[in-house]
Chain A
Amino acid sequence: MDYEVVIGLEIHSELKTKSKIFCGCKNEFGGEPNTKCCPICLGMPGVLPKLNKKALEYAIKAGIAMNCKISRFSKMDRKNFFYPDMPKAYQISQYDLPICYDGYVDIEVNGEKKRIGIERIHLEEDAGKLMHDPFGQGSLIDHNRCGVPLIEIVTCPDVRSAEEARILFETIKTILEYTEVSDCQMQEGSLRADVNLSVRPRGQKEFGVRTEMKNLNSLRAVQRAAEAEAKRQIAVIEKGGQVIQETRRWDDNKGESFSMRGKEEAMDYRYFPEPDLVPIVVDDAWLNEIKASIPELPLSRKERYVNELGIPPYDAGLITMNKKLADIFEEAYKVCGNPKLASNWIMTDILRRINEQGDSVLDSLNGAKFGQILLFLEKGEITQASAKQALDTFLETGEEPESIINRLGLKVQRDENLVLAAVKDVIEKNPQAIADFKAGKTKAFGFLMGQTMAALKGKGDPAQVKKILEEQLNAAINE
C-alpha cells in the first residue's frame, strides 16, 4: 500500500537576551556549573520572577517573522511537574494564550514553494542540566541554564516527508538567525526539535496514531529520525499491528529510536495562571517598533538576488541560508560593484574555507574589506592568485586590503620594459619550447606564458604578457 507521512515539529529555541528571563543572571552558554545563577533562578523561598521585556520582544519578533498574529493580551502560566533540574517544580510557560499564533512559513522543496502553518509560539523558561557525579554514584545539577528564555514553536502537521521536515527546521533556524533572536547553536542545545509523526494510507482523511521524538539537535538527525520512524510505523501497520502513541528517544549513532514507555501520557501539568506576574499587554506603538526592526528574511532575499542581481537560484539559496554569509555577500558586492563576481567567490573560495575551518571563519571575514579585494580584482589591478593571497593575509591579520596589496607587492606589473625583458629572457632560456612552438605545438605557448608569469612573480597582467609574448615569438619565428 502507498502511505503518506504526516509530520509536525515542535522547536525549542533559546533566545539570546543578555540576561535570563526572570532574573538578572547572565544568559551565556558554558562556564563552571552553578556559577550563573541566583536565588531567583534557583527558585528559593520568597523570591519572585520579573519578566525580561527583551525576551518577550524576541518572541514577538520571531512571531512576526513567521507571519503570526500577536496576542495583544496574554499571560504566563505555571506548568507543574517534579523534575530535579526544575528548581521550582513548575515551569513558567504559556498555556492557553500564547504570545504568537496562527502564522506560517514558506519553504522551498525541489524549487517549489510550500506553505507550512505555525500553530503557536510561546515563551517559557529553560531548565537546568543533570550531570553524572564524577566522584560519587548519584547525579549533580548544573543550574546555569535555569531561566534561560526559550520560545517553543509548534508547527501544524503540514509536513509530508522527512526531507520537508529537515527543510522546515532549517528554514525556521534561518529565520531565527536573521531576526537575531537566537544564535541557534545546535551543538550547545540552544535549538532543538521534537518530531511528531504519523502515517496513513494515501487518500485517507484521518490522521494515524502519532509518536513524538524529542530533542533532536541537528538537521540531519531530524531527517534521519523522521525517515526511520516513518519506515518503522509502516512496518508495524503492514504486519497488522498498531502504532502506539508514545514518546520515543532517537539514538543518532545507532540510527534507531527507542520507546520511552509512554510515561508522558500520564502527565497532568495542572496549568494555571502565574500569579507572580502581571498579564502581558502589547500596545500598538511597541508592536510597530518591533515590526520595523524585522530585517529582510531569507526567502525574499533569495528572490531578490535571483531576480535583481542575476545570481543563479542554487547559489542564491545557499548564500541566503546563512545570514552571516548573506550579509558578507551583500556588503562585498556593493563595494566591488559586481554581484556575480562576489557570489562566485563565495561559492568557491569562501565555501571551501567554511568546509575546512567551520563557520567561525565568517567571524573574521568583513564583507566590505572582502569587497575591496574583489574591487582590485575587478579593476584588473591584481590577479586571481593575488586576490586569494590577499584574502589569506586579511583573514590572518585583519590588515587593510590596500596595505596588504602594497606591502606584498601584489599589484599587477604593467611596466612594458620589464615585461619585455622577462619575455626575452624566457625565450632565450627555452630553445626547445621555441622549437616546439615553431613546429606548431600550441601547448608550448602555454608553457612559455607560465614561465613568463613565474618570472614576473605572478604579477603580470596576463593580457599584456600574452600580447608581448606573441609579438616576440612571431619575431623569433620570422627571424
Chain B
Amino acid sequence: MSILNKTIKETSELLRARKIGVVELTREYIKKIEKDNENINCYITVCEKEALDAAEKAQKLIDEGEASPLCGIPAGIKDNICTEGIRTTCASKMLENFIPPYSATVVEKLLGQGAVVLGKLNMDEFAMGGSSENSIFGPVRNPWDNTRVAGGSSGGSAAAVSANMACFTLGSDTGGSIRQPASFCGVVGLKPTYGLVSRYGLVAFASSLDQIGPLAKDVTDCAIILNAIAGFDPMDSTSVNKEYEDYTQDLEKGVQGIRIGLPKEFFDIGLDDDVKEAVLNAVRQLEALGGKAYEVGLPSIKHSVPAYYIISSSEASANLARYDGIRYGYRSSKARDISELYRLSRGEGFGREVKRRILLGTYALSSGYHDELYKKALKVRRMIFNDFNNAFENCDVIAAPSYPVASFKIGENIQEPLKMYLGDIYTAGVNLAGLPGLVVPCGRDKNGMPIGIQLIGKAFSEKLLLRVGYALEKAVGTFRPGEGN
C-alpha cells in the first residue's frame, strides 16, 4: 500500500518510526501532484520550495522527539485562507496575484505543529458555488469520475484528499461548502460550530456563516486536525473562549443509547433514491450498534435556502466591496476616472456567479427591500435556530443527506443557478443555526459515486458527532476511488 494512501495517524507513526523521512514523504506528494493535477485540477498553487523547507524543519522536530500529531504531515489549504508570502487567489481574477503579508490563524496553528503546506486548493470563486466550476483556473474534477464535479465550493480540498494529493486539507463552509464536496468525493468533512475555529485570515464571503474546517480520510484524522485548529483567537471577536477539548478522546465510546433524529422534511421529496437509501441504511447500521432513531420536525427548514441566499449575499455585497481596484487586486487599465475605475475593475475582475450574489445582496439591503428581504431572512434564521433547538430536545444528533444527489456532471448545472441553490437545502440551515455538521461516507449510488451522510449536532457537540461518525465508519468502512465497484 502506497504511503500516500495512509491517514494522518498512520503516516505520523511511520514518520516517528523512521520508516520514511518528512522530506521524502513531501517529495512523494509533490510527485503525485505533478502527475495528477493536470487531470484533477485541485491545486491552484503548489509551493514546493516552502513545503520542502517546512519538511526539513519538521524532520528536525521529529528527530528531537516532537510529539505533535501533525508534525511532518503534508496538507493542502483552500485558496481563500491566507498564507503569508504565498498567493491567495480565491480562484478569482480579482486576486489572481494577491500575496498576503499575513497568514490565517489556522495556518499559523498548522505550521506551529510542524505540518507541511503543499499548496493552495481550487474552489468556486470567493467560495460562491457548489461545484468548483466557478474558478478562473477551471473546474475541479472528481477523482471518482473525471467527467463529474468534485462539489463545492471546497471542491479542491475534497478532491485532493480523495486523490491522495494531500494527507488532509482545510476548507471553508458557508452553506455546505465542506460537507457537500466531502460527500461527492467520499471523504470525511467537518463544518465546526460557528465560533469554534478562528476566521482570521479567511477571505470573508458571509461573515456570520463562514467557518473553516477539516477534510480528511477518516474521522480520527478529522479529530486530530480539529484539535490543532480549534480554540479562541483574540484576533476574531466571534471566536468563542471555551475550555480545550481533546476531540480524539472518546471516539471509540460507541453509540449505545444515542438518539438519532430524522427530520421528516429531509426525506419527503426531491431526494435521489440511492442517496435516501444510503443514508437510511447508515442510520440502520447505527441502530444495530445501539442507537435509537426518531422522527423529528424542522418545520421552517423549507425556508432555509432563500434565507441563506439573502443573508449570505447581503454580507457578501459588503465583504466584497473592498475589491475596488485601488489598493490591491485587479485594476482595469481602461478606466479614465474614479467611478469607471470601480465599475471596470469590478466588472472585469469578478466572475458571473460572484456578480450575481453581489447584486442580489445589494438589492436585499436596499431601502425599500431591506425589511421585506434582509430583515425577514433574519427572522427565518431565528426560526430555524429554534427548530433545531426543539429537535434536539428529542435527539442527540440529526442524521440527514448532504445533497439531493450523489453527484452531477461538469457543465450539467452551471447554467441553472436556481437549481444549484436549491441543492443547499440540507446544509445551509446548519450554517444559519451556527451548528456543527459532519459528513461521513456511507455508500455509493448506481453510478458508483460516493454518498456521505450528514450528522448535525448541538452547538459545540463536535465530540459526540465525531464519536457517532467513528462508529459508522467502523461499520461501513472508508473507501477510495478506484477501489471495488
> B14 in the interface, Cβ–Cβ < 8 Å?
no
How many angstroms from the CA of A84 to the CA of B322 in the assembled complex? Answer: 10
Q: Are A48 and B237 in touch, CB under 8 angstroms?
A: yes
CB atoms of B365 and A46 under 8 A apart: no
Contact A275 B315 (CB under 8 A): yes
Verify if A438 is at the interface (C-beta below 8 Å from B). Answer: no
Interface flag for A268 (CB, 8 Å): yes
Asked whether, in the complex, the Cβ of B237 is within 8 Å of the Cβ of A278, the reply is: yes
Q: In the bound complex, do residue A44 and residue B100 qualify as a contact, i.e. CB atoms below 8 Å apart?
A: yes
Complex Cα distance, B367 from A104, in Å, reads 31
Interface residue total, chain A, C-beta cutoff 8 A: 28
Output the least CB separation between B289 and chain A (Å).
40
Nearest Cβ on chain A to B449's Cβ, whole angstroms: 33
Docked CA distance A82–B342 (Å):
9
A88 touches B321 (CB 8 A): yes
1/0 per residue, CB under 8 A from A, across B233-253: the answer is: 011111000000000000000
Cβ distance B378 to chain A, nearest Cβ, rounded Å: 9
User: Considering only CB atoms, which chain B residue lies closest to A84 in the complex?
Assistant: B326
Q: Does B27 contact A (CB under 8 A)?
A: no
Assembly CA distance A49 to B199 (angstroms): 11
Evaluate contact between A89 and B208: CB separation under 8 angstroms: no
Whose C-beta in chain A lies nearest to the C-beta of B206?
A275
User: Is there contact, CB below 8 Å, between B326 and A45?
Assistant: no
A141 close to chain B: CB less than 8 A: yes
Contacts of A42 in B (CB 8 A): 327
Verify A90–B321 contact, CB threshold 8 A: yes
* B118 within 8 A of partner (CB): no
Interface: B98 (CB within 8 A): yes
Which residues 296-343 in A have Cβ within 8 Å of B in the complex?
Answer: none
Q: Which residues of B lie under 8 Å from residue A84 when comparing CB positions?
A: 324, 326, 338
A50-B234 contact, Cβ under 8 Å, with A45-B203, A272-B318, A275-B207:
yes
Q: Is A132 an interface residue when CB atoms closer than 8 A count as contact?
A: no
Considering only CB atoms, which chain A residue lies closest to B367 in the complex? Answer: A268
* Contact of A45 with B367 in the complex, beta carbons under 8 Å: no
Q: Knowing A43-B322, A48-B200, A88-B321, say if A270 contacts B362 (CB, 8 Å).
A: yes
Interface residue B102 (Cβ < 8 Å from any Cβ of A): yes
Partner of A80, one of B102, B318, B338: B318
Give the residues from 66 to 112 in chain A that come closer than 8 angstroms, CB to CB, to chain B.
78, 80, 82, 84, 87-90
**Residue B82 contacts which of A45, A78, A270 (CB distance < 8 angstroms)?**
A45
B318 touches A78 (CB 8 A): yes
Interface residue ranges of B181-228 to A (CB < 8 Å): 199-204, 206-208
Pairwise interchain contact A80-B202, C-beta atoms closer than 8 A? no
Instruction: Say how far B324's CB is from chain A's closest CB, in angstroms.
Output: 6
Q: A395 on the interface (CB 8 Å rule)?
A: no
Q: From A22, which residue of chain B is reached at the shortest CB distance?
A: B237
Bound Cα distance A44, B82 (Å): 11
In the complex, the answer to whether B365 meets A50 with C-beta atoms within 8 Å is: no
The answer to whether the Cβ of B426 comes within 8 Å of any Cβ in the partner chain is no
B258 adjacent to chain A (CB < 8 Å): no
Q: Give Cα A181 to B201, complex, Å.
A: 32
**How distant is the Cα of A194 from the Cα of B204 in the complex, in angstroms?**
35
Is A45 a contact partner of B200 (Cβ separation < 8 A)?
no
Q: Are A88 and B365 in contact (CB under 8 A)?
A: no
| Contact between A89 and B324, CB atoms less than 8 A apart | yes
- Chain B: which residue is nearest A45 at the CB level? B203
Chain A min CB distance to B88 (Å): 7
Q: Which residue of B lies closest to A50 (CB)?
A: B237
A277 within 8 A of B: yes
- The answer to whether A270 and B370 have CB atoms under 8 Å apart is yes
Contact: A45 with B321, CB < 8 Å? no
Report the minimal beta-carbon distance from B194 to chain A, rounded to whole angstroms: 10
- Give CA–CA (A141, B325) in the complex, Å: 13
**B374 interface residue per 8 A CB criterion:** yes
Cβ–Cβ < 8 Å partners of B327 in chain A: 42-44, 87
Complex alpha-carbon distance, A277 and B239, angstroms:
10
A410 to B104, CA, bound (A): 69
Residue of B nearest to A269 (CB): B367
Q: Does any Cβ of B come within 8 Å of A276's Cβ?
A: yes
Q: Which residues from A are CB-within-8-Å of B236?
A: 48
In chain A between 192 and 241, which residues have their CB closer than 8 angstroms to a CB of chain B?
none
Hey, which chain B residues are within 8 Å of A278, CB to CB?
A: 237-238
The answer, among A46, A78, A270, A276, for a CB contact under 8 Å with B366, is A270
The CA of A88 and the CA of B206, in the complex, are separated in Å by: 15
Q: In whole angstroms, how far apart are the Cα atoms of A268 and B327 in the complex?
A: 24
- CA A92 to CA B82, docked complex, whole Å: 23
Q: Could you say which residues of chain A place their CB within 8 Å of the CB of B294?
A: none
Residue among A46, A87, A271, A277 making CB contact with B200, cutoff 8 Å:
A46
CA distance in complex: A88, B318 (Å): 8
* Residues of the A chain whose Cβ atoms lie less than 8 Å from the Cβ of B321: 80, 82, 88-90
Residues of B within 8 A of A468 (CB): none
Interface assignment of B314: CB less than 8 Å from any CB of chain A: yes
Nearest opposing residue in chain A for B210, CB measure: A275
Determine which residue in A47, A82, A278 has the highest number of CB atoms from chain B within 10 A of its CB, and name it.
Answer: A47
A39 within 8 A of B: yes
Check: B283 CB closer than 8 A to any chain A CB: no
Q: Which of A275-290 contact B (CB under 8 A)?
A: 275-278
At the interface, yes or no: A51 with Cβ under 8 Å from chain B? yes
Partner of A276, one of B207, B314, B338: B207
In-complex Cβ contact of A46 among B82, B206, B326, B342 (8 A)? B82
Do B365 and A270 touch across chains, with their CB atoms under 8 A apart? yes
Q: Which of B202, B322, B365 contacts A272 (CB 8 A)?
A: B365
A276–B365 CB distance below 8 A: no
Residue from B100, B235, B324, B362 within 8 A of A45 (CB atoms) = B100
From A139, which residue of chain B is reached at the shortest CB distance? B338
Residues of chain A within 8 A (CB-CB) of B201 are 46-47
Report Cα–Cα, A87/B325, bound state, in Å: 11
Q: Give residues 253-275 of A contacting B (CB, 8 Å).
A: 268, 270-272, 275
Tell me the minimal C-beta distance from A322 to chain B in angstroms. 39
- Distance in angstroms between the alpha carbons of A49 and B342 in the assembled complex: 24
CB contact under 8 A between A44 and B324, given known A49-B237, A272-B318, A275-B315: no
CB neighbours (8 Å) of A45 from chain B are: 82, 88, 90, 95, 98, 100, 203-204, 322
In the complex, what residues of B have CB within 8 A of residue A78's CB?
Answer: 318
Contact residues of B between 308 and 324, Cβ < 8 Å to A: 314-315, 317-318, 321-322, 324
| Residue in B98, B100, B199, B322 whose CB lies within 8 Å of A48 | B199
Given contacts A39-B102, A80-B365, A89-B321, contact A46 B203 (CB under 8 A): yes
B95 cross-chain contacts in A, Cβ below 8 A: 45
A43 to B319, CA, bound (A): 10
Are B207 and A88 neighbours in the complex by a CB distance under 8 Å? Answer: no
Also in contact, A48 and B235, with CB within 8 A (given A42-B327, A87-B327, A88-B322): yes
Alpha-carbon distance between A270 and B321 when the two chains are bound, in angstroms:
13
CB distance from A92 to the nearest CB of B (A): 10
Contact B207 A87 (CB under 8 A): no
- Which A residue sits closest to B81, measured CB to CB? A46
Distance (whole angstroms) from the CB of B110 to the closest CB of chain A: 16
Given known contacts A78-B318, A82-B342, A88-B322, A272 and B207 CB-to-CB distance under 8 angstroms: no
B424 to chain A, nearest CB (A): 19
Contact with A along B345-386 (1 / 0, CB 8 A): 000000000000000001001110010001000000000000
A/B interface sample: 23 pairs, CB < 8 A: A39-B101, A43-B322, A43-B327, A44-B328, A46-B88, A46-B104, A47-B102, A48-B238, A80-B317, A82-B321, A82-B342, A87-B322, A87-B327, A88-B321, A89-B324, A90-B318, A268-B367, A270-B317, A272-B314, A275-B315, A276-B204, A276-B207, A276-B237
Given contacts A272-B370, A276-B204, 6 further A-B contacts (CB under 8 A): A45-B100, A46-B81, A46-B202, A270-B318, A270-B365, A278-B238
**Pairs A-B, 5 closest by C-beta atoms:** A89-B321, A275-B207, A270-B365, A275-B208, A45-B203
